[in-house]
Chains A and B, each alone.
Chain A
Amino acid sequence: MIKKFSLTPYLFLTPALLAIAIFVLYPIIAVVYYSFTDYTIVNPPVWVGLSNYSSLIHDTTFWRALSHSFVYLLVTPTLIFLSIILAIIVDRKLPGISAYRALFFIPVISGSIAVGIAWRLMLDTNGIINALLLSIGVLKEPIQWLAEPIYTLPFCMLMTVWLGVGYYMMIFLAGLQNIPDELYDAALIDGCNSWQKHWYVSVPGLRPQITFVAIISSLAALQVFNEVFTLTNGTGGVLQSGYTVVYYLWQQAFRLSHAGKASAIAMVLLLITLIFSMMNIRLLERGTEAE
């Protein structure tokens, strides 16, 4: 039987395909092209071949930003660990437990810029953190937290964890509620204590969620910008201590008008995130095969 060609499904697809072509495909192609040009945004791009890429190889600031972005990946295991702990804690039938879950979720629905400004105020010389530490005698002099290079990245990462832990907690909570009670009963009969019950039942049961969270949180960590921008007030921190790849990309494009070089940075980032995604998906497939 010969299938009759029908135009109708393609017509239905056309608006979506057009939107994707205009808002996704074209920008990607444009960025690829710009990465081979000297482009100042205000003047037309001029073809320079691979010089943007070769300049990145010799650019110590780029390597510093890249290393910071890799350090930033530490938020991923931290988020997974804390979110699972929190999910286990709130996965109980207690009066008012919904309020606790909502409390942990509030940072997720708060704007990251607003949160960044609030954190900046807390970390100010006269902020609440210094006031607290001074009042309990931990400090004798207030610390200018955001002017100390060693604190810039850790505070940005802390803010990322604080912002994201509620969201990932909800994902793990949903995963926990899908694990059959019989498995926990069997674990108890086998002599597991409360800790072992979660280690041998909950964690393996949450494998799909862990993989999912690992992928999306590591991609988000590699692309971090808002936390760095708000906490350092747009400067990237003293001694470039808060420079990440996306911050550096932004600075090159919008502060120094090197859109060509910024596009090359974007291509490198694209490559890294692609490799990360493929590795994560591979891990997921292996885990599923093993089961």
Chain B
Amino acid sequence: MKAARMVAMAVFLAGCAVVSPYDEVIDKGIVEFAEQFNTFVKNMADAGGKQEGTYEANTRTYNTLESKLDVLIARASAASDGKACKVEKKIYERLGRILQDSIPPELKSESTDPSGNADGCNARLLVLVKKQLETVREIHKTSDKCPSPTGQISCLRRATTATALKIANQSINAVSVVESAKKNLTREN
């Protein structure tokens, strides 16, 4: 009887997959994106104040980088079956208080869905990387200006690129760290 219970327990536990499987396409895709994005932003730091460093001269690169992420997001979203991501509620509540700011609505609505699943978190991590890219684009287009012989032109200032890369790489690394941990989990089994 005891043995039968243990067999039943093993069958039950074997069916308990709490994390989504490792995805090599996402793992390699985010590394490629990181390389291209970091190179691009560093090049923009060198090109500040020159015509080739303006937003208008670089819209194609932004489109290419965005498309790369769109492909990865579509892949992760298909796996999540349209479900969102569930984040530990206590953590974001406490951090929201510490940062003396209200919790961003997108964090509350999209990352704390009680019906969320692990694949939804994969998609969310990639969406956040895309949002970082969009914000860098917005800075380049609207807020950063550099002096040039023709007057002030759009650019990414050197100080901006340094901070933006550090921040964006946190989101990029979050994807890599999770995929790497899943890869190790797959190897152990």
Whether A associates with B in a native complex is: no
Partner-B contacts on A (CB < 8 A): none
